[in-house]
Amino acid sequence: MTALRLVAAPLLASEPEPTTAADAVLQLENVSVRYGAFTAVRDITLDVPRNQILALIGPSGCGKSTLLRSLNRMNDLIPGARVEGQIRYNGEDLYDPAVDPVEVRRRIGMVFQKPNPFPKSIFDNVAFGPRLGGTRDGLDEAVERSLRRAALWDEVKGKLRSPAMALSGGQQQRLCIARAIAVDPDVVLMDEPCSALDPIATLRIEELMRELAQRYTIVIVTHNMQQAARASDVTAFLTMGEDRAGHLVEMAPTDRLFTTPATKLTEDYITGRFG
Amino acid sequence: MTAAASLRVRSSRARGRARLNRLMTGLLVIAALLAIMPLVLIIGVTVIRGLPAMNLAFLTETFNFSRREVGGGYLHGLVGSLYMGGLAALIAIPLGITTAVFLTEFPRSPSTGPVRFFSDVMTGVPSVFVGLFVYTLLVRHIGFGTFVGGLSLAIIMLPIVVRSSEEILRLVPGDLRRASYALGARHWQTVLWVVIPAAAPGLVTGSMLAVARALGETAPLVLTALAAQTVVLDFQGEGQSALPLLIFREARGAFSAGQQRAWAGALELMLLVLVLSIVARFIGRRIRG
- 3-state secondary structure string across A24-62: EEEEEEEEEEEECCEEEEEEEEEEEECCCEEEEECCCCC
Residue B42 pLDDT > 50: yes
**C-alpha triplet B147, B235, B66: angle, nearest 5°:** 95
Please state whether the predicted TM-score (pTM) of the whole model is above 0.80.
yes
Residue A12 pLDDT > 60: no
Q: Where are the alpha helices (DSSP H) in B51-173?
A: 56-60, 75-105, 112-123, 127-134, 140-142, 146-170
Which of A112, A131, A133 is facing B179, going by the closest CB pair? A112
Which pairs with CB-CB distance under 8 Å and at least 24 residues apart come from B168-175?
B168/B100, B168/B199, B168/B202, B168/B203, B168/B206, B169/B100, B169/B101, B169/B104, B169/B195, B169/B196, B169/B199, B169/B203, B170/B104, B171/B199, B171/B202, B172/B198, B172/B199, B173/A116, B173/B198, B175/A112, B175/A114, B175/A116
Considering chain A, what is the average pLDDT of its residues? 88
Report the chain B residue with the minimal C-alpha distance to residue A130: B183
Residues A126-146: b if buried by 16+ CB within 10 A, e if exposed? bbbbbbbeeeeeebeebbbbb
Using a CB-CB cut-off of 8 Å, the residues of chain A touching B194 are 118
Query: pLDDT value at position B48?
Result: 95
Q: Do A106 and B183 touch (CB under 8 A)?
A: yes
Residue B131 pLDDT > 90: yes
The answer, for A88 touching chain B at a CB cutoff of 8 Å, is no
Residue A3 pLDDT > 60: no
Of A4-8, A88-92, A144-148, B138-142, the least confident: A4-8
Task: State the smallest CA–CA distance between residue B184 and chain A in angstroms.
Answer: 5
Among B158, B156, B173, B149, CA closest to B98: B158
Query: pLDDT value at position A271?
Result: 87
E strands, A77-233, where?
A: 81-89, 92-93, 108-111, 187-191, 217-221
Residue A19 pLDDT > 60: no
Q: Do A106 and B184 touch (CB under 8 A)?
A: yes
Q: How many CB pairs under 8 A join A and B?
A: 65
Q: What is the mean pLDDT of residues B132-145?
A: 94
Which of B181, B198, B289 is facing A105, going by the closest CB pair? B181
Q: What is the mean pLDDT of residues B10-14?
A: 78
Q: Can you name the residues that pair with A81 across neighbouring β-strands? A: A35
E strands, chain A, where?
A: 24-35, 38-49, 53-57, 81-89, 92-93, 108-111, 187-191, 217-221, 234-240, 246-253
Q: Which residues of B fall below an 8 Å CB-CB distance to A?
A: 173, 175-176, 178-186, 189, 193-194, 197-198, 288-289
Contacts of A12 (CB under 8 A, 6+ apart): A22, A23, A24
Each residue's pLDDT tens digit, A153-183: 999 999 999 999 999 999 999 999 999 999 9
Query: pLDDT value at position B1?
Result: 53
E strands, A146-233, where?
A: 187-191, 217-221
Report the chain A residue with the minimal C-alpha distance to residue B200: A119
Q: What is the mean pLDDT of residues B228-235?
A: 90
- CA dist A85 and A40 (Å) reads 14
Query: pLDDT value at position B3?
Result: 67
Candidate ranges B6-10, B62-66, B220-224; pick with highest mean pLDDT: B220-224
Each residue's pLDDT tens digit, B69-119: 888 899 999 999 999 999 999 999 999 999 999 999 998 899 999 999 999
Using a CB-CB cut-off of 8 Å, the residues of chain A touching B182 are 72, 74, 105, 109-110, 112, 180
Residue B121 pLDDT > 70: yes
Each residue's pLDDT tens digit, B158-207: 999 999 999 999 999 999 999 999 999 999 999 999 999 999 999 999 99
Judged by DSSP in three states, A141 sits in helix
> Terminal CA-to-CA distance of chain B, rounded, Å?
62
- CA dist B106 and B100 (Å) reads 10
Using a CB-CB cut-off of 8 Å, the residues of chain B touching A106 are 183-184
Query: pLDDT value at position A20?
Result: 56
Which of B176, B182, B186 is facing A118, going by the closest CB pair? B176
Q: Do A128 and B197 touch (CB under 8 A)?
A: no
Each residue's pLDDT tens digit, A97-142: 999 999 999 999 999 999 999 999 999 999 999 999 888 888 999 9
Classify residue B44 as exposed, middle or buried by CB count within 10 Å of its CB (0-12, 13-18, 19+).
Answer: exposed
Q: What is the mean pLDDT of residues A242-246?
A: 86
Query: pLDDT value at position B65?
Result: 77
Query: pLDDT value at position B2?
Result: 61
Report the chain A residue with the minimal C-alpha distance to residue B194: A118
Q: What is the mean pLDDT of residues A78-90?
A: 93
Which of A102, A109, A119 is facing B288, going by the closest CB pair? A119
Q: What's CA A159's distance to the chain center, in Å?
A: 29
**C-alpha triplet A184, A228, A257: angle, nearest 5°:** 120
